[in-house]
Structure 1
């Protein structure tokens, strides 16, 4: 009989230290194409309880690669904006740190699941969320955007804030059924003294970007509303406007007019100059130029006419044909919620999600092995067994 051995777990990876505090990596949530990483870490300090935190890691050498603004300037602007945006459903910014060529923005860690996890559950469980659930999520998002877009600076002047990076991994569905924004994205604002990028560049995660953003054109509040529409569409149907079935799309390029083709080319060139162009990016930009109203309708055929009308308006390619403000979106969503009758809020949404989660659990292992839908940053991710 061989002697028993004690196998010690590997020591935690310490990302950096500052003063008496150290930050240990828990897991990587996301890596962006321009080098930014989003991480969950544990903050340790003698005499205090360990605290989980959310970190945005910004490489200081990224500007040389992609033409981004100086990360230090971005951090300073984010700190200023975070001080202005005090809201119970926006994560609190604890501060910024610099270590070993990386800037870290340290945010409050919000418990719960990402909206990405919430959207992926129906793929496993083969179910649909109720319309009341979809409206609840939409109302939460529209309310947040109304707060952000309508905010003024310390002088009382409009900030003109645009998030420019709304995506499901940046939103947390908490145990009480509310949605919390975990960071302020790749923000635009009119903060006094703001320093713009040195080049025109795409912003945020391409798969949830508005067409004008992907084409390298100007973004405004209506761009965030388009991203809201994409997230609601995915939550409601498990389908995406930038990933249409080939049988539906046919020859994608054949749909493009000459003007459409020029916008696609411009978007690709802007991404190339910023060091962000990939084959996937090119495919997304082409979808953004080629989709038609009937494509949106074909994805939503199971939804109510009222919800379809809201999504159609959110997902117009031309910003002038979308809702002008988040308040207008909120009003239409609320009107539809009132039509459905009954009270549906955070507790009801949390209960519906927990029911879906319970139904998913027995299927999750096999689904993760066969499909691998949940990314490594997800709390639902299961490692594929080694065969």
Structure 2
């Protein structure tokens, strides 16, 4: 998500007409649901579209369940059709129950706006890790990227193959797989978030307008930008773009090199604020090919390059057939490269990348999660690094 209303290194500013954001030591009461009290303790981000993401604490839970959660306050849909679509999207997210997917708990209407209560992942986003890698002039290791890719492919496979009560496939496609929607927890677990723009073949799903692009177009597949039918292979392409950026610190597409938009290209508009301009992305994807991939991955190992080339084929039929196939291929390369690489190794690498990149945090803009894992100050991060080196 865009963070243009949040100053780098500073506190988020409240949108016009909104209550001021909570400050440390002074939580703000939000609402209660069935005896559970929700208090906002920090505003993580505010988007130009009016959405805000709050870190909240739940009080009054039975059984001593963890109290932290994320509350996404969404702008109230302007039409009944959009309100119905939003409810359907949340219902869809309720069905996803997988350790690699951040759980969606509830939908609450409060002060005229829908609030989605979600699982809190205590750790940085991949967007933050990419920025930290740029700051230290060294991206994450190939082993770390292979590990993350394996976990994400497994989570996507779960979503792609999910069925309803009658065993009928729901046809879920995330269509917004990007670094800002992937978090690495403090113990090395990888979580995919933001299934709110997911596409599904469920009969009661509302169809988006033909010209409307949902999700960040910087990670969209060519067929999505051409408004062709979506399949799970669209998410595979997006995951490939994400992995290129994670491995190299550079996005696959350079919009500054985009030629002029040709006459007759179908006009599109994005529902959210994309990280790269929509018209330029349309042009680049319309001319995208294997040579573009090779230029981006030239410095990587041959086995990693081969995986990325297959994930990033223009023709969906030439990509990995399923996310499970991509998962297995990534896992096999990781096993050869770094046998036993898992959560502990990933957690240690996250701490090192953040610590080494922290010296440049005033020069390089980090992602919406901030440089440090949520709840960790600089001295606490140093202690975490020392712990992981033992």
TM-score (norm: length of structure 2): 0.79
Counterpart residue number, 2:205? 194
2:259 alignment partner, one of 243, 248, 253: 253
Residues 362-373 of structure 1: pairs in structure 2 closer than 5 A: 363=359, 367-371=360-364, 373=365
Q: CA deviation at 1:192?
A: 4.5
Determine if contact 2:24/2:42 at 8 Å carries over to the other structure: no
Equivalent-residue separation in structure 2 for 1:282 and 1:37 (angstroms): 27
Cα deviation, 1:157-206, whole Å, max 9, x if unaligned, reads 11111011212121110122120123323111233522333554101112
- Other-structure match for 1:55: 71
Deviation at 1:93, TM superposition (A): 2.0
Which residue of 2 is the match for residue 165 of structure 1?
176
- 1:313 Cα deviation from its structure 2 partner: 1.6
**1:128 maps to which residue?**
139
Partner of 1:71: 83
Deviates more, 1:220-229 or 1:292-301: 292-301
Instruction: Name the SS of the counterpart of 1:185 in structure 2.
Output: helix
Aligned ranges 1:143-154 → 2 under 5 Å: 143-154=154-165
Residue of structure 2 in register with 1:40 after alignment: 55
C-alpha distance in 2 between matches for 1:301 and 1:343: 27
Q: 1:95 to 1:225 in 2, by over 3 A?
A: same
Q: Which moved more, 1:55-64 or 1:164-173?
A: 55-64
Which of the residues 330, 340, 359 maps onto 1:343? 340
Distance 1:277 1:177, change over 3 A: closer
SS at match of 1:230: helix
Hey, what does 1:314 align to over in structure 2? 311
Which of the residues 283, 287, 292 maps onto 1:290? 287
Give the number of aligned pairs.
Answer: 350
Structure 2: gaps spanning 5 or more residues? 1-22, 374-390
**What CA distance in whole angstroms lies between the structure 2 residues aligned with 1:62 and 1:276?**
18
Aligned pair partner of 2:269 in 268, 271, 274: 271
In structure 2, relative to structure 1, the CA distance for the partners of 1:49 and 1:309 (3 Å cut) is closer
Deviations 1:233-292 (A, max 9, x none): 001000112226x5xx4xx327x8x6xx64xx31xx2317x6879982222222222333
Q: Within 1, Cα distance between the matches of 2:327 and 2:184?
A: 19
- CA pair 228-278 structure 1, distance change in 2 beyond 3 A: closer
Please point out which of 40, 53, 68 is paired with 1:24: 40
Q: Structure 1 regions of 5+ residues with no counterpart?
A: 1-7, 382-387
Helix, strand or coil for the counterpart of 2:286? helix
Give the Cα–Cα distance (whole angstroms) in 2 for the partners of residues 290 and 147 of structure 1: 32
C-alpha contact (below 8 Å) 2:180/2:367 kept by paired residues: no
Identify the residue that residue 7 of structure 2 maps to in structure 1. none
The alignment partner of 2:74 has SS state of strand
Alignment equivalent of 2:100, drawn from 77, 89, 92:
89
Is the contact made by 2:72 and 2:116 (CA closer than 8 Å) also made in structure 1? yes
Describe the superposition over 1:121-177 as per-residue Cα deviations: whole angstroms up to 9, x where unpaired: 211122232222121111111111111111211100111110112121211101221
Check conservation: 2:124, 2:371, Cα contact below 8 A.
yes
Aligned twin of 2:350: 353
Bigger CA radius of gyration: 1
For 1:110 and 1:278, locate their aligned partners in 2 and report how far apart those are by CA, in whole Å.
23
Answer 1 or 2: which has greater helix percent. 1
The Cα RMSD (Å) is 3.2
